[in-house]
Every structure is written in structure tokens, then in C-alpha cells.
Chains A and B, each alone.
Chain A
């Protein structure tokens, strides 16, 4: 399991390792994979911006819960970015090998976390000390 993860991580940085896998797919598939990667990077950047915004605009909230929520969003953004390159590399390799694309739990995890964060922010706005 650990070895497989290491191999996947090596794919992020080594074009030679990627080229050693199967053969190049139709360029349109690669570009679609690249756009998916960029969409995930934008999601990551949105989470980072959300974390900064929570700290700057949710000033009715006490210092500690505000910082915890902001840092959680920033950490989520970083995690999302790492996952973006990881998933891109795994999809690109699967396409080169002619295998099915890898399934992932991450979108479900992100959906639940986003819903939770939204509820927390809404609760902070409604029940916050300044209201």
C-alpha cells in the first residue's frame, strides 16, 4: 500500500515515469484531464480564499472559533491541491494504460465538509456574539 502511494507520488514529478506507462492517449483526453485538474486547483484556491475571508469578514465571531474555522478551510485548500495532482497523475496513467479511470471518495468527502463548514458559518452569523 505504502509502495503504491510512493509510485503514484513519483508520477507527479517524473515525466519519464509517466512516458514509460503505456502509450500517449488522444490529446483531447489529456486536455480534458488537465482541465479537470485546473478545476480542482480552482476549488483549492476557493477554499484558501474562503479561509482568509472567514478570518477577515466573520469578525462577530470569537477569536478561537474563527481561527479554527479559517485554518480548517486553508488546510482543506492545501489538501485539495495535493489531491488534484494525485488524481491527475492517476487518471493520466490509467488513460495511457487503457484502464478504467480511478474511482475516488474525495468528492463525497469534500461535499460533506463544505456542507459542514457552511452550516458552521451560518450558525456563527445567526447566533454569533454580536447579533
Chain B
């Protein structure tokens, strides 16, 4: 199979899916930063921004590494741990945001 080009362009489509995912993560990062700039959440707000930036960078690195491996004509399946890391990068900003909203008080 290796070397034979897939007419369904599966590797390319998967690469684009990774790119769209990093784009979605960027929106989450921007909203977290906006919250800090507009509402000024203090130290807690900066902590949430730090978590969001770390998660965003984590996702970018994970996507970049996967994109490189998807360059060949017949790539292997993703490793479970790699995808678990991506999950963590989605859960971290959710947890940081929820913590920020719940701890800021009325």
C-alpha cells in the first residue's frame, strides 16, 4: 500500500481537520484573553490566561507533529496518548474558565 496515492485524499483531509481544530482552539484562547482584558480578573484571570496559552501551544505542537507524520501516502493510525493529550488541551481551558467564573464571586 505504501507509495500508492489514496484517491480519497485521506491524509490531506486529515491534515485539514487538524488545522481546523487549531483554529477552533485559537477562538477559545482569544475569548480567555478578552475576558482578562475586559473584566480584569486579577491574578486568577492571568492564571486562566496562562492555562489557555499552554493548552493552545500544546495543541499546536500535537497538531504539527501529527501533520508531519501525515505527509506520507499511507500513514499509520494516531497513537492513543497523542490524542489523549489533545483532549487535555480542550479540557484545560474549560476547567480554567469554569474556575475563573466560579471563584470570582458576585
Q: Do A and B come from one complex?
A: yes
Shortest beta-carbon distance from A100 to chain B in Å: 19
Contact partner of A45 (CB less than 8 A), chosen from B27, B38, B79, is: B27
Cβ-defined contact, A45 with B83, below 8 A: no
Among the interface residues A33, A46, A77, which one has the most CB atoms of the partner chain B within 10 A?
A: A77
Among the interface residues A11, A18, A38, which one has the most CB atoms of the partner chain B within 10 A?
A: A38
Cβ-defined contact, A74 with B28, below 8 A: no
Residues 51-82 of B contacting A (Cβ, < 8 Å) = 70, 74-81
Closest to A86 in B: B87
User: CB-defined interface of A51-85 with B at 8 Å, one 1/0 digit per residue?
Assistant: 11101100000011001001100110110111011
Contact partner of A71 (CB less than 8 A), chosen from B17, B74, B86, B102, is: B102
What is the total of A-B residue contacts with beta carbons within 8 Å? 143
B43 interfacial by beta-carbon distance below 8 Å: no
Tell me, in angstroms, the Cα distance from A82 to B86 when the chains sit together: 10
Contact partner of A52 (CB less than 8 A), chosen from B8, B28, B77, is: B28
Contact partner of A89 (CB less than 8 A), chosen from B74, B76, B80, is: B80
Collect the chain B residues with CB atoms within 8 Å of residue A27's CB.
Answer: 1, 10, 74-77
- What are 5 A-B contacts defined by CB distance under 8 Å? A35-B13, A41-B24, A49-B27, A51-B98, A52-B32
